[in-house]
């Protein structure tokens, strides 16, 4: 069973509190949104002879569990309830026979998050043991690919056998298990430490998810403190906004980016062209740099629709004095096209793949 605890001093309760493994007996409180879900749960619990109670006035079911029986309970619940039904049911785990108080409500999750979280031991262990490394992919000048402008810092996990775990798997599970705050903080800190360790003196692009930050002045204070402790220059750190078109509250994202800029960082908008919303975000967020989505760049030289869209973005960025990065450049033809149509910088496997040690120089590619 996984619960939340910490060994750090003065932690941010959402970002810096690390999960720990708990043992013993618990009560799981389940608040169901509608009657048919309650009936399905009660029927299942009775069939399994699982000790439980119905608190009808509160529309709440309590289930007695032990840390060793939680996986079995989760497996059964996932068979009888749909994903949406689990997302609509609230869950709170209390030790022993304790009843929840008002302060415990902040720890409440959906039943879906509870189930994912308690089957995500490998990610929890990775966080607790800090089994992460940072890879770097060069970002180079479009017209002279020998000139390295900077690097994108990319988080990689390391499993117990020493194998790399790709970021998509990590972040997808972190999002479902409500561990995105801890993972996002880990990614920022590992990037800064690796930047200092390798003595990188050019810009480093660090990804961040705005949904993992509540209050930038509070949530980002440890990041800024670490930067200063490591003697890094804020000007050489570019925070790259991920999933910007999934943000519900644009004003909140503006608040975060304004905080970054006041601290001296620069801001990049990632995956431009992946959706209409991201185009609208240019005037709302006023980024210093925009990165064209790799799907837009792929085969851009022979796809008229992609070519028109990409060219208009390059023209718009030029008029607004915004630097552009063409991501996902994998062929000489794609490179030739983005060079001819105004990309300032390029990034992709044609240039170099991500590596644990920053590549100091790039071989020239044909003009």
Q: What is the pLDDT of residue 208?
A: 85
Packing angle of the helix pair 276-285, 250-263 (nearest 10 deg): 50
Residue at which a domain ends, from 102, 119, 136: 119
Please indicate, yes or no, whether residues 49 and 80 belong to a single structural domain of this protein: yes
Beta strands in the chain (DSSP E): 2-4, 19-21, 25-31, 52-55, 60-66, 90-95, 109-110, 132-141, 148-158, 164-165, 204-208, 237-241, 266-272, 289-292, 323-326, 345-346
Last residue of a domain, one of 119, 150, 178: 119
* 312 lies in some domain: yes
Residue 286 in any domain: the answer is: yes
Residues 105 and 162 in one domain: no
Say yes or no: 175 and 215 in one domain.
yes
- For residue range 264-290, list pLDDT tens digits in order: 999 999 887 665 556 778 888 899 999
Are the C-beta atoms of residues 158 and 164 closer than 8 Å to each other?
Answer: yes
Flag whether 172 is in a domain: yes
Residue 97 lies in a domain: yes
Check whether residue 26 and residue 47 sit in a common domain: yes
Specify whether 186 is located in the same domain as 108: no
User: What does the angle CA 139 – CA 145 – CA 146 come to, to the nearest 5 degrees?
Assistant: 100
* Residue whose C-alpha is closest to residue 240's, from 223, 225, 257: 257
Contact 327, 142 (CB under 8 A): no
pLDDT tens, position by position, 205-223: 999 887 766 666 666 788 8
Same domain for 178 and 294, yes or no, is yes
Tell me: do 129 and 101 sit in the same domain: no
What's the domain range around 65? 2-119
For residues 153 and 151, give the distance between their C-alpha atoms in angstroms, rounded to a whole number. 6
pLDDT at position 158 is 95
pLDDT at residue 18, as a whole number: 55
Split into its structural domains, the chain has a count of 2
The answer on 240 and 265 residing in a single domain is yes
**184 and 82 assigned to the same domain:** no
Using a pLDDT cut of 90, give the percent of the chain over it. 58
Could you tell me the pTM of the whole model?
0.83
359 is a domain residue: no
Q: What's the mean per-residue pLDDT of the chain?
A: 87
- Asked whether residue 86 carries a pLDDT value surpassing 80, the answer given is yes
Question: Can you give the CATH number for the domain in which 259 is found?
Answer: 3.20.20.450
Q: Rounded mean pLDDT of 180-203?
A: 93
Indicate the residue among 97, 119, 141 that finishes a domain. Answer: 119
Cα 180 from Cα 86, distance rounded (Å) = 19
CATH number of 12's domain: 3.30.70
What's the pLDDT tens digit per position in 228-267?
999 999 999 999 987 655 666 788 788 888 888 888 999 9
C-alpha 44/C-alpha 333 separation (Å) is: 59
β-pairing verdict for 132-141 and 345-346: antiparallel
**Band (5; pLDDT cuts 50, 70, 90):** very low
Asked if residues 96 and 24 have their Cβ atoms less than 8 Å apart, the reply is yes
**Residue range 10-69, pLDDT digits in tens:** 445 555 555 555 678 999 999 998 889 999 999 999 999 999 999 877 789 999 999 888
- Lowest mean pLDDT: which of 289-293, 313-317, 363-367? 363-367
Task: Tell me, yes or no, whether 284 lies in a domain.
Answer: yes
Residue 107 in domain: yes
Q: Quick one: 110 and 131 in the same domain?
A: no
**pLDDT at position 244, please?**
58
Same domain, 238 and 158: yes
State the average pLDDT over residues 292-310.
Answer: 94
Does residue 76 sit in the same domain as residue 221? no
Residue, of 166 and 198, whose pLDDT is higher = 198
Is 360 part of a structural domain of the chain? no
pLDDT of residue 20: 52
CA-CA distance, 95 to 26, in Å (whole number)? Answer: 4
Range with lowest mean pLDDT among 104-108, 296-300, 320-324: 104-108
Per-residue pLDDT tens digits for 151-176: 999 999 999 999 999 888 998 888 88
């Amino acid at each position: 069973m996984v619960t939340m605890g910490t060994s750090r001093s003065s932690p941010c309760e959402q970002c810096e509190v690390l999960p720990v493994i708990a043992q013993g007996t618990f009560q799981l409180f389940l608040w169901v949104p509608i009657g048919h879900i309650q009936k399905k749960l009660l029927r299942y619990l009775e069939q399994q002879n699982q000790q439980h109670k119905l608190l009808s006035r509160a529309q709440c079911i309590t289930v007695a569990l032990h840390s060793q029986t939680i996986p079995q309970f989760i497996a059964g619940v996932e068979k009888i309830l749909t994903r949406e039904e689990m997302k609509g049911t609230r869950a709170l785990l209390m030790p022993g026979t304790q009843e929840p108080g008002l302060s415990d409500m902040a720890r409440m999750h959906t039943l879906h998050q509870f189930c994912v979280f308690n089957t995500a031991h490998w990610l929890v262990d990775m966080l607790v043991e800090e089994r992460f490394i940072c890879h770097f992919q060069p970002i180079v000048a479009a017209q002279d690919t020998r000139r390295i402008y900077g690097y994108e810092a990319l988080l990689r996990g390391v499993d117990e056998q020493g194998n790399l775990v790709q970021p998509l798997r990590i972040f997808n599970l972190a999002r479902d298990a409500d561990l995105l705050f801890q993972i996002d903080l880990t990614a920022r800190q590992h990037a800064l430490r690796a930047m200092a360790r390798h003595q990188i003196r050019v810009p480093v692009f660090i990804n961040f998810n705005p949904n993992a930050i509540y209050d930038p002045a509070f949530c980002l204070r440890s990041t800024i403190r670490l930067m200063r402790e490591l003697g890094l220059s804020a000007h050489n750190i570019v925070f790259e906004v991920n999933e910007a078109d999934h943000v519900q509250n644009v004003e909140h994202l503006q608040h975060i980016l304004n905080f970054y800029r006041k601290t001296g960082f620069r801001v990049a908008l990632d995956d431009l062209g992946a959706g209409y919303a991201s185009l609208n975000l240019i005037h709302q967020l006023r980024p210093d740099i925009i990165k064209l989505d790799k799907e837009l760049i792929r085969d851009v030289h022979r796809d008229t629709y992609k070519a028109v869209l990409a060219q208009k973005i390059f023209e718009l960025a030029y008029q607004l004095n915004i630097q552009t990065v063409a991501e996902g450049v994998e062929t000489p033809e794609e490179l030739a096209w983005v060079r001819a149509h105004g990309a300032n910088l390029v990034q992709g496997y044609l240039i170099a793949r991500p590596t644990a040690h920053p590549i100091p120089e790039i071989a020239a590619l044909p003009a």
